[in-house]
Amino acid sequence: MTSKKKTPADARKKAIKTKAAQAAKATAAAANPAAVPTPGTTLEQQTPAPAKPAKQMSALDAAAKVLTETGQPMSCPELIAAMAAKGYWSSPKGKTPAATLYAAMTREATTKGAASRFRKVGRGQFGRNGAA
């Protein structure tokens, strides 16, 4: 295939088309001023945007909340059950949510160190870190 080289004449044609499109938009705006908000309008006068749904809590956030509320160390299966019972978080069809939570909590404790929300207190047991 051969490619067409762009010439200065092509650039002028494109500039003319762009200016023509801008002029058409300006003409349409002048013909129907209600369609284009003016700089002096307030937010109440404009149509409101649709409300965004509340963001669902993550498993780590829910686990931290449960550990804070209970105040005692818990295993990951216990945390999963408590999070589901309180309605904070439930697994989206996962086969091993406890293993996933365990890995995420261990990763946060390792990477953040003392700033982590979790601390490992025993085999398979996590507690709330006092520093965070």
Q: Does residue 60 carry a pLDDT above 60? A: yes
User: pTM score, two decimals?
Assistant: 0.59
Q: Which residues contact 90 (CB under 8 A, 6 or more apart)?
A: 83, 84
Q: Report, as an integer, the average pLDDT of 104-131.
A: 92
Q: Report, as an integer, the average pLDDT of 41-55.
A: 66
- The percent of residues in the chain predicted with pLDDT above 70, rounded, is 64
Query: 34-38, 75-79, 82-86, 95-99: which has the minimum mean pLDDT?
Result: 34-38
Q: Does residue 49 carry a pLDDT above 80? A: no
How far apart, in whole angstroms, are the C-alpha atoms of residue 28 and residue 95? 57
How far apart, in whole angstroms, are the C-alpha atoms of residue 12 and residue 17? 9
Bridge pairing between strands 125-128 and 118-122: antiparallel
How much is the pLDDT for 53? 73
Q: Report, as an integer, the average pLDDT of 86-106.
A: 94
Q: Does residue 35 carry a pLDDT above 70? A: no
**Confidence grade of residue 14 (pLDDT, cut at 50, 70, 90):** low
Q: Report, as an integer, the average pLDDT of 89-93.
A: 91
**Confidence grade of residue 50 (pLDDT, cut at 50, 70, 90):** confident
How far apart, in whole angstroms, are the C-alpha atoms of residue 119 and residue 16? 66
Q: What burial letters (b/e) apply to 57-96, b meaning 16+ CB within 10 Å?
A: eebbebbbbbbeeeeebbbbebbbebbeeeebbeeeeeee
